[in-house]
Amino acid sequence: MSHRVDHRCPERFVRALREGHAGLGRAAQRILGCPDAAHDAVQEALITLWLHPPDHEHERAWLLRTVVHRSLHERRTQRRRRHWEGAAVEALLDECPLCTPQRELEQREIGALLDRALGALAEPYRTPFVLREIEGWDYTRIASALEIPIGTVRSRLNRARAALRAHVEAALDEAPESAAAAGA
C-alpha cells in the first residue's frame, strides 16, 4: 500500500508529517546544533514534500534524507558565512590599523584633554593659536585680522604652544596617579 503524499489529499500529508516529524527534528538538531535552524530545515523539507512529493512509497525515508541534506547544506552555508565575515573583519582592520576601539578611545581622550587645555589658555594666546593651528591661517592674515604686528603673532603662538604643552604634561603626570588611586 502506498503512503505517497498527494496534493489533492492533505490528510495523507498530515499523517506523513505526524509519523516522522519528531525524528526529523532530532536529526536536524544533531547536525546543526541549533533548535531554530533545525526547525527551519525540517520546515523546508516538509514544504518540498508538499510541493514535489517523491515518486516512490518510502516517504519517511525520503523526508529524513531531505532533512539531512538541508541540514548539511545549512551547516556548510553557516561555515562559509563565518569565513567570509571573518575575512571582511580582517580586511577592515588591515585597511586601518589605527581604527581599533582602543585607539578610538585614546584619540577621544586626547581630544578632550586638548580641548580642556585650549579652554585654559588666556584669550590673547587662544585666538592666534586657533586661527593658525585649527583654521590654517598664515601669520600675515592673523596679524591683519587681530590688528597686531606679525612679531606679536609669533610670540603669542610660541607662548600658547608652551602653555598647552605644560597643561598636557601636567595632565599626563596626574593620569597615572589617578589610575593608581582608582585601582587601590
Which segments of the chain belong to CATH 1.10.10.10?
Answer: 101-183
Which tops the pLDDT comparison, 3 or 142?
142
Q: What's residue 142's pLDDT?
A: 92
CA dihedral for 9, 15, 18, 21, sign (positive or negative)? negative
Q: What is the pLDDT of residues 37-54, one digit of tens each?
A: 888 888 888 888 777 777
Q: What's residue 159's pLDDT?
A: 95
Which segments of the chain belong to CATH 1.10.1740?
Answer: 10-95
Q: What's residue 149's pLDDT?
A: 94
Burial of 68 (0-12, 13-18, 19+ CB in 10 A): middle
Q: Is 100 helix (H, G, I), strand (E, B) or coil?
A: coil
Which cell numbers in the block locate residue 173? 603626570
Evaluate if residue 184 carries a pLDDT over 60. no
If one looks up domain 101-183 in CATH, what number appears? 1.10.10.10
If one looks up domain 10-95 in CATH, what number appears? 1.10.1740
Q: What's residue 98's pLDDT?
A: 62
